[in-house]
Structure 1
Amino acid sequence: MKRIAALIALGGLSACAAAPQQAVTAPSSRPAGPGPTYQYLYGSGEGGAISVQAYAALLNHVAAVGRPKNSVVLAEGSTLAAPSFVPCGDKPLAAVFDVDETVLLNLGFEEKDARRGGGPFDPKAWDRWERTGAAAVAPVPGAVYALRQLRAKGVTVIFNTNRSAETADQTVAAVKNAGLGDFVHGQDLFLQGDDSAGSKKDGRRSTIASRYCVIAMGGDQLGDFSDMFNQIASPRERREAAGHGEVARLWGNGWFLLPNPVYGPGMRGGFDDVFPTDKRWDDPAQGAN
């Protein structure tokens, strides 16, 4: 299960589920069509173009970086304000990716979710999807070409996903059906349940970085790069942590983010979280009425 719970309590992280989560309430009737977030991510040329753009930038980075001294995986004891990185040494090169909505589009599951109007995440439905939905997927635009080019350059492609280790065979089948290649659990496919950390990925990232020089990472959630982002309760503070300081320099320079306006911890925040109070506008037309 990939998806991280979108609802986080104001006082701290209250849940870290690893499957799709809609940050909306269930409607009273089914919608006539998919909502705008589904339309954008799964149907629009714009959403596809952003994904292709991200993968093109990743390939350009890999071509330019050569063999770096350090990987792009944060070292133990590192902080977002003062990041440090796992040394590469003579380890072979690798690129690490999340799966769901990073390399793989869960079209079958999301179609059902869109028809019911989103609403609370149903972990039982997601488990059924993991076990039976391998044929109803597609690759993220740009992913098949990018992964093929990485392998041609001698870079090992590794998936680190919150799909369950109990459904490893079905995940292997899903990514193969999407044209992403063959993967082996425990070698180049890491899943939730491989360690005792649940949906947290830093432990698995550390294991991967102990074996490989990770020169690029791709994901659709900040937690695909560091669990520390998911420990920040305030949406505004989380945005600040991602967009400022030393960590901000990693975007497009080792860390590559794919679009996902549908689910995840980024889909939260009230008006005051999203729109700064010092940037409000009084519409003169409204004031005249």
Structure 2
Amino acid sequence: MRFGAVVLLIVSAALLQGCAAALLPVVAAGAIGKTQVDAAQARTRAAEQQLADLPQAQREAVVTVAPVEETPTPAAEPVVQTAQIPAQPVALADINHPYLPMARYALAQAERRQAGASVRSAVLVEKVSLIEPRAVDCGDKPSAIIIDMDEAPGVELSDGEAIGFGELLQYLRDNGIVIAWVSGRSTGELAEDLALLQGGDFPAMQADDIQLFAWPGLRKQERRWNFAATHCVLAIAGDRKSDFDELFDYLRDPDYAIRLDAWTDRGWFLLPYPAAVAAATHSPKATEVDNTP
């Protein structure tokens, strides 16, 4: 007698041996002898009878497994390597920004330090003398600049001069100059300004910058001194003179501190409020034409 199919039944422990599941042999017609075929048929009929005698719930536990046809594995698609074109840095010539003179000065001072020359810090020593003012020693400390984030009636932003604030500061970072931001306010009070500085495609403030914000019992001037103890502050940007040193808050007429004029535009830069600058700044890259096909 010929059989045209293969029968495979898996029965549960309740069906055949209590706890262990039994697997009925696979019988291939024409590949075995008649005696083996008869024995296989007898076992199949016995299993079917036991299955018919089981309650409905147990009969549903029996699983019929059909032969699995092997699907040929498709050939792997060739991997196409896409050339990564590095972003071209923005040149200083593409930047028109009020902070550009400060950046140029800091870069020039950093180059002098690399050449072995001694440069002057933009942070004055404690208990400074107005007759012979001295700056904190730079030594071999890493180069840095400080940007004050407390707004005061002072220098205003002119129209058409806020291009590339983030790129300008990144140019300083790429040349080994640390950016530090100082404020007498806490992070919570600065939330709106921080959002402006950290937003956009090319943020002015980035994760590796140092934040010298309000700390209980510590004046802003003390935070400048602490920072100058570990960094050579090449330049300070602020919108009033007391952003350079608190002594200007105690002078009856700051213009009479003639000896301190030597730091004006040579370490101290009166510049517009940075958050307002960031809000009005756009990137030079935004005006570039995309010729990608």
Q: TM-score, normalised by structure 1?
A: 0.49
Q: Which has the larger radius of gyration?
A: 2
Q: Which has the higher contact order (CA 8 A, sep 6+)?
A: 1
Q: TM-score, normalised by structure 2?
A: 0.49
